Amino acid sequence: MTVKIFDTPEVQDFINTVAGLDQAGGNGRAKQIIHRLVGDLFKLIDDFDVTEEEYWAAVNLLNALGSQTQFGLLSPGLGFDHFLDMRHDAIDAEAQRTGGTPRTIEGPLYVAGAPEAEGFARMADETTEGETMWLTGQVRGVDGTPIAGAKVEIWHANDKGGYSFFDPSQSEYNLRRTIYTDSDGRYTARSVIPSGYGVPEGAPTDVVLKSLGRHGERPAHIHYFVSAPGHQHLTTQINLAGDPYTFDDFAFATREELVIPAERIDDPAEIAQRDLSGPFSQVVFDVELTQVSAPELQARHARPRAKEDEQDLASQLAGTAKV
């Protein structure tokens, strides 16, 4: 079809009206964003000759994504989360905040309020199956100085790819802990090796990805929030080396520096030293934080998170997190 109407005065005036540009009230920034968004979508419909059937199928898919709360799952799948990280990397570079452990996406599965521990925590409850993992590391500044009392929040899936809170078969806060580093800046957790997982078969996110010829698989990975007064908050995750999807993550979270091996340990002395009953896998992940003075850079950004309210975020921004 050769009919194109987007650039006509009637359509351009209509977009202004839709965005409320002819109205005195409302939010100016919201108006500009909606004007751009609606205009770009109108142009897309014009350029690709989108049919009514295609348009309403898309609306139905959006409704399904919302009803199944999958926008947070599709967002990384379409690269938005990684694009935001790319922007933050560029902002840091412009501000000459260099060095430190790379950031990567948070994902939608954090739950606030995990049990706290000093130096060491056992993350898995007694019923959790899987290969024992000894997860440890040191938090330090970019100059190499250990940071005592750094707050290390860790969460990951079980050996079936499920996360507590979202998976009702698991106990509350299973495989979720907050560990404050010891005097040498070290943290240690006893847990289980997580499994990778995929988006639910036939779910709206799966439908979108398959329409692009893509899969919805994630490699085995472990999420981190790491913070300390005077240092830039770090949101990151590590991928376990050797997973078939380590470098083919549908969520685009893999960074070379964040691929960590799980070393199999079967030495009896080391097993006994950790009070374990058999072989285990050790994962070592050291973290370097960049020094900053701005309070807003020392706390994670505000967004809806399970069991996290505005008071929790205000506490972070005020610098009242435990030192």
Instruction: Tell me the per-residue pLDDT of 251-272, one tens digit each, with 9 for 90 and over.
Output: 999 999 999 999 999 999 999 9
pLDDT tens digit string along 224-234?
999 999 999 99
Percent over 70 (pLDDT), the chain: 95
Residue 111 has pLDDT above 70, yes or no: yes
pLDDT at 10: 98
pLDDT score at 319: 45
Question: Which SS3 state, helix, strand or coil, does residue 83 take?
Answer: helix
Q: Are 39 and 21 in contact (CB under 8 A)?
A: no
What are 74's two structure tokens?
A: 């599709």
The residues, ordered by sequence, that sit 6+ positions from 72 with a Cβ below 8 Å of its Cβ are 107, 108
Q: What is the pTM (predicted TM-score) of this model? A: 0.92
Tell me the per-residue pLDDT of 117-150, one tens digit each, with 9 for 90 and over. Answer: 999 999 999 999 999 999 999 999 999 999 999 9
- Rounded average pLDDT over 100-105: 98
Q: What is the pLDDT of residue 320?
A: 33
* Model pLDDT for residues 206-216, shown as the tens digit of each residue: 999 999 999 99
- What percent of the chain stands above pLDDT 90? 94
How far is 118 from 218, CA to CA, in rounded Å?
A: 31
Cβ pair 154, 224 in contact under 8 A? yes
The average pLDDT across 285-314 equals 88
Q: Give Cα separations from 235 to 177, 212, 227, 246, 269 (angstroms).
A: 15, 29, 9, 19, 35
* CA-closest candidate to residue 300, choices 285, 288, 315: 315
pLDDT range class, residue 309, cuts 50, 70, 90: confident
What integer pLDDT is reported at residue 1 of this predicted model? 63
Alpha-helical (H) ranges within the chain are: 9-18, 28-48, 52-67, 71-77, 80-94, 204-211, 268-273, 310-317
pLDDT computed for residue 2 by the predictor? 81
CA dist list (Å): 6 to 35, 59, 72, 248, 278 = 13, 21, 31, 38, 68
pLDDT tier at 312, thresholds 50, 70, 90: low
**Local confidence band at 318 (pLDDT 50, 70, 90 cut-offs):** very low
Per-residue pLDDT, averaged over 310-319, amounts to 50
Average pLDDT score over the chain:
95
* 34-40 contacts at long range (C-beta below 8 A, 24 or more positions apart): 39/15
Tell me the two tokens of residue 211: 């329409």
Q: How high is the pLDDT of residue 161?
A: 97
Are 128 and 175 within 8 A, CB to CB?
Answer: yes
Strand partners, 189: 121, 135
Q: How far is CA 93 from CA 87, 110, 256, 258, 286, in A?
A: 10, 27, 19, 19, 22
pLDDT at 321: 37
pLDDT attached to residue 158: 98
| Percentages (nearest 5) of helix, strand, coil residues in the chain | 30, 20, 50
pLDDT at 317: 45
At 110 the pLDDT is: 98
Q: What is the spatial distance between Cα 128 and Cα 169, in angstroms, rounded to a whole number?
A: 10
Across residues 7-33, what is the average pLDDT?
A: 97
